[in-house]
Structure 1
Amino acid sequence: MHPRLTVLPLGPQAHIQESLLSISDEDTSRQAVAGFQALMQFMGDQSRPRGKDKLDLLYELLRLCQDESLRDEIYCQVIKQVTGHPRQDHCARGWSFLSLLTGFFPPSTTLMPYLTKFLQDSGPSQELAQSSQEHLQRTVKYGGRQRLPLPGEMQAFLKGQTVHLVLIHLPGGTDYKTNIRTFTVVAEVLEEMCRQMGITEPQEVQEFALFLHKAEGKLVRPLRHSEYLNNVVMEKDVSLHSRRLGWETPLHFNNPTYISTHYSQVRQDYLQGKLRISAQADAQIARLAALQHLSRDKKTPPSEQDLLAYIPKLLQWEISMTTIKDLMGQELRKLQGHSSQDAQISFIEAMSQLPLFGYAIYVVLRVSRLPLTGPTLLGLNHQHLLLMDPSSQKPRCSISLKNLQRLRLLSPQEEGGPPGLEINYGLADSPQTTWFELPQAQELLYTIIFLLNNTCSLEWPGLN
């Protein structure tokens, strides 16, 4: 396709009788002409038909651009319309649409240099040219939003409301507030959050993830770093949660926000019973309780309620609370002079010695290849998937992620029971299959795929 340059000088109110680009398919060419009419109506160069408003026209144009064979044509049409337009208000609407188009759909590699040059040349005189350039650069990097937005977002766009506040829930009950725009991607928010923690190395930023929670946790999945946030946050009944998913980079404790964020995540895993300590390790349990108490910067001795809040519920029935309270008192006397941050660092360092530290941990109820007397722990990191006996703290099974061939969700075997995840792995000449039953089977599936894609920088095809 090549521009018919003789057509471009036509005035902005002149209708076209055929496409600006050479399009051989007659139906596509007719759609191009209809698209130009919709563009003129959106900009106000032609009156809108009864029953159609700006929102309808905007969707009509974006739907046309979902067809790759029409994208360059629509780009050329809007460039034609904003070039030398005599009406500033009409021209502004055209630029508004161009700023939207550049964020949704990339032009062809043939048109790209011409579009880039046009935006650069228009920048000094047109404010929206700068945002169009930024959106285009983001589209080149992340692929464009592609999915059409919900009407509520488009209504806000037409009113010039392109920024809105989102809450990201962090471990420990803290909320992080940030403003996102029409084309903000997950990676940008994670980079911003990490800067608040003093993290600037790209490798370490990659170890954090945003999780989407939908329908009160019925769907939980990590968002790809290239995902556009407005594609998910504008839906109903969704929330965003962040946590560290990879722990390859050595920990560094030179930023208070970094320390408190990591402490909250590690403490949450401990209290939920994911980072297990033997019920016989009274001194260790008491020291961890003392560190938690100091982390709250409390000057008064711990109450009975405080003590319960410092110990995982699974352990509370197996230990002597009186013994732990006495040992905790001794620890608090030893730790006199420790600041809240010192206590948090010491707690993280103590947890880092446990076998499953640095893993995303799930509780598995049943495994096809192993006889289990009770629930077991499944740890997942960038390298492998590990099953561990929670009592003995000994590994029972390890599967390398690079050997995974296929993943498949399984329906519950019993009514009201947990779903399952089937994993095919191993070499082609000796494949193996196993399955796990756990309530978070879907989350585990998505997290494995997220880690594979992050590690390999490829879209892993094993989701069925």
Structure 2
Amino acid sequence: MIRACSASARVRSSACCPWSICSQGGVSGPWEGRSGLFPDDLNPALRRPRLPQLPPGSPREQEEEHEDGPPPRHQSPRTWPRPGPRPWPHPWLRQPSREGSIQGSILGSVQGSEIEILQYLMMDFAMRYFRDAATRDVSKLVEHTEVPISESLIFFLDPELKELAVQSFLSVMMFMGDLTMKNELSEGDCIKHIVLLGKEKEFLRDEIYCQIIRQTTNNPHRESCTLGWRLLNLVTGFFPCSSTLKPYASRHLRDISQNPTHPYQKLARVCEDNLKRSLTHGGRRHVPSHLELDALLAGRSTRRFPIQFPGGVEFPCKIRSFSVALEIVQELCFEMGIQDPSEVQEFFIHATRGHDGMVRPIHPAEYLFDFLLDDGSIGLSFRRLVWTHPLTFPNDIYIEFHYHQVLGDYLDGKLLLPGSDSALSKQLAKLSALQHLALGLQHQPSAAELKDYLPGQTGGSTSQKLLPSCLSQLAAMASLGPSDAKRAVLDELCSLPLFGTNIFMAQKVSQRTCPSPCVVAVGQEGVLFCQPKTQVRVFVIPLADVLSLRSVRPKKDKVPVVEVKYGSPAHPKSISIHLKQAKELCHILAVIMEELVRPPINSSISSFTEFTH
């Protein structure tokens, strides 16, 4: 087993894999129940590994808590349908030769056998894919060196990849202190160079992984090795390795993370978790900010950040550098007593931009630190967007959360009470009395207090007229405690026609039957277009009929526009919605579509960079 930073535990090829190349010209390893030195051509399974040859011009890419502490074990309830970019296979595996076919020969034939426990060591990977594996001692190619490389470790045909690999190794060595830092460079510059290479050149990712693993294996300098492990922590979180390297890198990290005597056991566990996330979700989208980078270099990978619940209550959460939104959603839902994975998927973290108030739901697979800017201009909140599951009231936090979210929509005038004037007055008085009881107040409310319990569009004189009826309702419901009063409010409001939808007010809609202004509600039934005064539906686009959507940048002094294509793919129709929150509507409709309709729709909405900058 390859051991990092242990000078006494040198790697010997004959002990680390079921077969190894010997200087005498044969192959040492097990064969037909025996072990020893056998001729090369005795058994195909014992032949020297040959790298497949490709024609010149191989395919190229198209364009605060200490981290040593054990990370939380978050179990994802399901694999999300949008996991981010998938790792490309290596250039040399695009057209493998018969003799060089790795997947179908040794690895495929030994799974489930006793030999499997000896598979996937980094030295095995080096034997198969390193350019110098046939001419040099392979054990030296997978352990620390103080001499810069002149060519890539992995066999590349592309000259650009060879050169970039050399530059990457120089940055790794300078960051770790194995090479004198150039005057104009800093540790941060080295990290950004490495991360950007991995983000922009997918075929170079395995090379970067192998370089850092090499420099942290049998490294005699503890300070250098610690920096190398912190660099590996960054790299495993920012981009994944390929499916070819995955079993080897995973085995390397797992062996160390399960060794209680290894000095970097905890960091290996962090890297192991980061790699699992990046393989699932695609890795971070942007290089770390200056503040985050400084914290990571100091060994701090966690930040306590407040997430605002409906009603303004802030719930402090520990967010790690490579936490995805789903993990935090799961934590918050657990606090509310929600454990059904399908119900958890109905809740979303939202990012709010400070200078203009733009709101964007964060996809479960997105990394939260990609949204948190150094200037603190991005706030996070938590809301329910989908309401397919009925309300269950398992605990007080659940009741408080849903009460304030639904009540907020009611007081903002988004949920209108139906009925005649007399019935409407009775409902207004009842809901006002319940809100008073929900606050735990014992005194009778004044007309001024009653005004705070009424929707915003209600006239000022209404509170005085409703006061007698409200006091009568209070007397009849005096026995209700705050929690029961909140549940009663939810029971009243959840029967309204637009309950469970995300409601916007559009200035105009291109559909002739729609009024101007027009209420646009997005929910599980689709996109609803309603009369603003009665919320009576005038037009509906079912979710299954939505083909695509995009937000259009407004011209000067104009309102942004959302364009929705719907209907038959052969003969699509289009509708334009003019409203200030065009991007927010686009994002919300997109995540609801992805949750309730498979496959997700095509959408062209504001990019991440556009939102954070």
Instruction: Place the TM-score, normalised by the shorter chain, in its bin.
Output: over 0.9
Q: Would the aligned equivalents of 1:186 and 1:228 in 2 still touch at CA under 8 Å?
A: yes
How much does 1:196 deviate?
A: 0.9
Query: Which of residues 252, 257, 281 in structure 1 aligns to 2:392?
Result: 252
Counterparts of 1:141-220 in structure 2, within 5 Å, are: 141-220=280-359
How much does 1:367 deviate?
A: 1.8
Rounded Cα–Cα distance in structure 2 between residues aligned with 1:134 and 1:393: 48
Helix, strand or coil for the counterpart of 1:316?
Answer: coil
Aligned to 2:545: 403
Query: Which of residues 71, 76, 79 in structure 1 aligns to 2:213?
Result: 79
Report whether the alignment pairs 1:58 with 2:182: no
Aligned to 1:121: 255
Helix, strand or coil for the counterpart of 1:294?
Answer: helix
Q: Would the aligned equivalents of 2:241 and 2:279 in 1 still touch at CA under 8 Å?
A: no
How much does 1:180 deviate?
A: 0.7
Q: Larger % of helix: which?
A: 1
After superposition, give the CA deviation of every residue in 1:76-113 in whole Å (9 maximum; x if it has no partner). 11111111111111111111111111111111111110
Aligned to 1:17: 150
Aligned to 1:277: 417
Aligned to 1:93: 227
Aligned letter for 1:163? T
Rounded Cα–Cα distance in structure 1 between residues aligned with 2:531 and 2:168: 63
Question: Which deviates further from its counterpart, 364-373 or 38-47?
Answer: 364-373
Helix, strand or coil for the counterpart of 1:326?
Answer: helix
Counterparts of 1:311-390 in structure 2, within 5 Å, are: 311-316=454-459, 320-370=462-512, 375-390=517-532
Aligned letter for 2:545? N
Sequence identity percentage: 32
Q: Would the aligned equivalents of 1:286 and 1:324 in 2 still touch at CA under 8 Å?
A: yes
Aligned to 1:462: 603
How much does 1:121 deviate?
A: 1.4
Aligned to 1:297: 440
Report the CA distance shift for 1:439/1:27 in structure 2 as closer, same or farther (over 3 A).
closer
Question: Which deviates further from its counterpart, 424-433 or 365-374?
Answer: 365-374
Rounded Cα–Cα distance in structure 2 between residues aligned with 1:92 and 1:447: 43
Rounded Cα–Cα distance in structure 2 between residues aligned with 1:310 and 1:417: 35
Aligned letter for 2:320? R
Higher relative contact order (CA 8 A, sep 6+): 2
Aligned to 2:583: 442
Report whether the alignment pairs 1:135 with 2:274: yes
**TM-score with structure 1 length normalisation?**
0.95
Aligned to 1:34: 167
How much does 1:35 deviate?
A: 1.3
Q: Would the aligned equivalents of 1:213 and 1:239 in 2 still touch at CA under 8 Å?
A: yes
Helix, strand or coil for the counterpart of 2:602?
Answer: coil
Q: Would the aligned equivalents of 1:12 and 1:82 in 2 still touch at CA under 8 Å?
A: no
Rounded Cα–Cα distance in structure 1 between residues aligned with 2:145 and 2:281: 33
Aligned to 1:106: 240
**TM-score with structure 2 length normalisation?**
0.72
Q: Which runs of 5+ in 2 are unaligned?
A: 1-91, 93-128, 606-613
Helix, strand or coil for the counterpart of 1:444?
Answer: helix
The CA RMSD measured in Å over matched residues stands at 1.9
Report whether the alignment pairs 1:419 with 2:553: no
How much does 1:303 deviate?
A: 1.8
Q: Would the aligned equivalents of 2:416 and 2:534 in 1 still touch at CA under 8 Å?
A: no
Rounded Cα–Cα distance in structure 1 between residues aligned with 2:193 and 2:339: 42
Aligned letter for 1:25? D
Q: Which runs of 5+ in 1 are unaligned?
A: none
Question: Which deviates further from its counterpart, 320-329 or 368-377?
Answer: 368-377
Q: Would the aligned equivalents of 2:410 and 2:455 in 1 still touch at CA under 8 Å?
A: yes
Report the CA distance shift for 1:295/1:301 in structure 2 as closer, same or farther (over 3 A).
same
Report the CA distance shift for 1:50/1:373 in structure 2 as closer, same or farther (over 3 A).
closer
Report the CA distance shift for 1:392/1:240 in structure 2 as closer, same or farther (over 3 A).
same
Q: Would the aligned equivalents of 1:362 and 1:379 in 2 still touch at CA under 8 Å?
A: yes
Rounded Cα–Cα distance in structure 1 between residues aligned with 2:347 and 2:215: 44
Q: Would the aligned equivalents of 1:388 and 1:394 in 2 still touch at CA under 8 Å?
A: yes
Q: Would the aligned equivalents of 1:185 and 1:226 in 2 still touch at CA under 8 Å?
A: yes
How much does 1:459 deviate?
A: 5.2
Rounded Cα–Cα distance in structure 1 between residues aligned with 2:168 and 2:462: 75
Question: Which deviates further from its counterpart, 326-335 or 403-412?
Answer: 403-412
After superposition, give the CA deviation of every residue in 1:113-163 in whole Å (9 maximum; x if it has no partner). 011111111221122111111111111221111421222211111112211
How much does 1:436 deviate?
A: 1.9
Bigger Rg, structure 1 or 2: 2
Q: Would the aligned equivalents of 1:422 and 1:433 in 2 still touch at CA under 8 Å?
A: yes
Rounded Cα–Cα distance in structure 2 between residues aligned with 1:457 and 1:137: 25
